[in-house]
């Protein structure tokens, strides 16, 4: 790897692959920490008594922490910088993971899972922003969606880890092994450059540093100067603003349509039902006649489909575009939910036909989500918001993303008990169709366009104009 000088004077590797790897490594931590608790909960009561309510608190503590971490990340990303905040997120992961693994009481488990969640929330906001601002516009979607792939890999590794330590009931090892990627993230990201857009907008004399970073990333001074000119135009326009960036800026006449689109994007990603399938697939499979071991094996297969089908999504996102992937993904999920609805409401007795149709429906649903709504949200959110409001806009939307996630996860068991699986699947079939309508009517295409061009086209005004 070639070595060069970074904007802060330290000598760094110039291979851009390291930037994408360390930036998106947070996705592994996100997936691992959300997935590993499912296996660990089976063995924690061996050492720490847990009531059903406490089990729920241990699981949901991470989601509450994620909401807080995401909510704090907007301002911190602008004041500290994208890279430093990712580093801080890695440190938070280390503290939370070690505390949870060494916990001796339910209170410690809930508290340190909450700390882990803060790290998840930080990573879920800042990593997509960091990758989006460093990536060339031609492949920005593919590189930014790398985090979603690593989330699915993290979930898969969590299942493998749970299996590896299941014989010894080693729940502390299940949780504690997450320290390894957390340390790797914290150390690795600090060797990478800061976002050139943040340098130009928030650091005194940062244009020179931004030019160094862009030249390193784009491979030529000409390409770097062209991109820096767009950034300079946006930053100069924003410098004329006297009003500080506030949450109410998102509700102003110019930014309100963008904010609504961002909120609907995260709303539909959660309310199309992905969390219910991920969390309750084994329960659904045993209810229709699968044995316990076969249901667990089928769930591992579902996790593998989730991971593998993210790859064509990454390949297609900068070729087919964001909107086509989301439209076809919504239709695929809708068809799968209709199949599951009919299967569960038709009164089929337990047998091979019911087993096959249920498993096919779940796999088609997971494949449709993984190739579309899974990766595209994290690419599209940072692209929608203008530079001046990007950190705040993404942070607010991702905070609500975690709120919607928790709402669906908490409500589904009760709704399942009251209405049964079939009517819940019908609800999600309707939601996936509405998600298709949302993409068709409201969501703009952002493929292959600079962030400054997207801002001008969405707002109808020069980049950085008054909000």
pLDDT tier at 1 (50, 70, 90 boundaries)? Answer: very low
> How far apart, in Å, are the Cα atoms of 88 and each of 74, 120, 128, 395?
14, 11, 16, 16
- Kindly tell me if the per-residue pLDDT of 219 is higher than 70: yes
> How far apart, in Å, are the Cα atoms of 375 and each of 266, 300, 368, 381, 428?
12, 20, 11, 11, 20
Listed in sequence order, the residues at least 6 apart from 428 whose beta carbon sits closer than 8 Å to its beta carbon are 271, 272, 273, 276, 333, 337
Number of CB atoms found within 10 A of residue 433's CB: 17
**pLDDT at residue 9, rounded to an integer:** 37
Tokens for 369?
A: 């989500």
Residue position matching structure tokens 């498993």 = 359
In the three-class reduction of DSSP (H, G, I as helix; E, B as strand; rest coil), residue 13 is classed as strand
Under 8 Å between Cβ of 216 and 4: yes
Which contiguous run of DSSP H or E holds residue 214? helix 206-218
The residue among 462, 431, 458 whose CA lies nearest residue 445 is 458
Please give the domain boundaries of the chain with CATH numbers for all domains: 13-192 (1.20.1250.20), 246-457 (1.20.1250.20)
Q: Which of the residue ranges 138-142, 402-406, 453-457 has the most confident prediction, judged by mean pLDDT?
A: 402-406
Backbone angles phi, psi at 212, to 5 degrees: -60, -45
Our CA angle for 455, 456, 459, nearest 5°, is 80
Higher pLDDT, 13 or 38: 38
Least confident range of 31-35, 158-162, 248-252, 402-406? 248-252
Under 8 Å between Cβ of 97 and 116: yes
- Kindly tell me if the per-residue pLDDT of 289 is higher than 50: yes
Our CA angle for 222, 198, 25, nearest 5°, is 95
Which contiguous run of DSSP H or E holds residue 119? helix 106-134
In the three-class reduction of DSSP (H, G, I as helix; E, B as strand; rest coil), residue 11 is classed as strand
> How far apart, in Å, are the Cα atoms of 47 and each of 110, 170, 317?
15, 11, 46
Least confident range of 28-32, 191-195, 203-207, 255-259? 203-207
- Kindly tell me if the per-residue pLDDT of 369 is higher than 70: yes
- Kindly tell me if the per-residue pLDDT of 310 is higher than 90: no
**pLDDT at residue 348, rounded to an integer:** 61
Higher pLDDT, 118 or 242: 118
**pLDDT at residue 429, rounded to an integer:** 93
Give the span between the Cα atoms of 421 and 394, in whole angstroms: 34
Give the span between the Cα atoms of 187 and 87, in whole angstroms: 7
Measured in residues, the chain has a length of 467
| pLDDT, tens digit (0-9, with 9 covering 90-100), for 262-280 | 889 999 988 988 877 776 6
Tokens for 239?
A: 């410098």
């Amino acid at each position: 790897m070639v070595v060069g000088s970074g904007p802060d004077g330290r000598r760094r590797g110039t291979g851009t692959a390291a930037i994408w790897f360390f930036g998106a490594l947070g996705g592994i931590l996100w997936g691992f920490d959300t997935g590993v608790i499912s296996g660990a909960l089976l063995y924690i009561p061996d050492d720490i008594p847990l009531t059903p309510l406490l089990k729920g608190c241990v699981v949901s503590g991470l989601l509450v922490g994620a909401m807080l971490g995401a909510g704090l990340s907007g301002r911190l990303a602008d004041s500290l910088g994208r890279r430093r905040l990712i580093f801080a997120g890695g440190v938070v992961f280390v503290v939370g993971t070690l505390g949870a693994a060494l916990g001796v009481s339910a209170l410690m488990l809930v508290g340190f899972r909450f700390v882990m969640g803060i790290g998840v929330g930080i990573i879920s906001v800042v990593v997509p922003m960091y990758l989006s601002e460093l990536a060339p516009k031609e492949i920005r979607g593919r590189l930014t969606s790398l985090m979603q792939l690593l989330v699915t890999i993290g979930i898969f590794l969590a299942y493998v880890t749970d299996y590896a330590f299941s014989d010894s009931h080693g729940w502390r090892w299940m949780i504690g092994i997450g320290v390894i990627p957390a340390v790797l993230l914290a150390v690795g990201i600090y060797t990478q450059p800061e976002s050139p857009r943040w340098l130009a907008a928030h650091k005194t004399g940062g244009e020179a540093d931004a030019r160094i970073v862009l030249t390193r990333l784009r491979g030529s001074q000409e390409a770097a100067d062209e991109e820096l000119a767009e950034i300079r135009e946006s930053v100069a326009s924003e410098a004329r603003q006297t009003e500080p960036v506030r949450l109410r800026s998102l509700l102003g006449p110019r930014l309100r349509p963008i904010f609504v689109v961002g909120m609907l994007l995260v709303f539909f990603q959660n309310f199309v039902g992905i969390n219910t399938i991920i969390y309750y697939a084994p329960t659904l499979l045993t209810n229709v006649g699968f044995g316990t071991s076969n249901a667990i094996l089928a769930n591992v297969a579902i996790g593998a489909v989730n991971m593998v089908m993210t790859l064509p999504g990454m390949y297609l996102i900068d070729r087919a575009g964001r909107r086509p992937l989301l439209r076809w993904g919504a239709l695929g999920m809708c068809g799968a939910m209709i199949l599951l609805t009919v299967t569960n409401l038709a009164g089929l007795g337990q047998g091979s036909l019911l087993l096959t149709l249920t498993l096919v429906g779940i796999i088609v649903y997971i494949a449709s989500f993984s190739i579309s709504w899974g990766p595209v949200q994290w690419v599209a959110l940072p692209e929608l918001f203008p530079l001046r409001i990007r950190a705040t806009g993404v942070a607010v939307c991702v905070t609500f993303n975690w709120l919607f996630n928790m709402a669906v996860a908490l409500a589904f068991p009760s709704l399942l008990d009251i209405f049964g699986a079939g009517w819940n699947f019908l609800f999600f079939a309707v939601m996936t169709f509405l998600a298709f309508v949302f993409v068709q009517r409201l969501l703009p295409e952002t493929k292959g366009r600079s962030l400054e061009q997207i801002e001008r086209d969405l707002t109808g005004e020069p980049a950085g104009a008054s909000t």
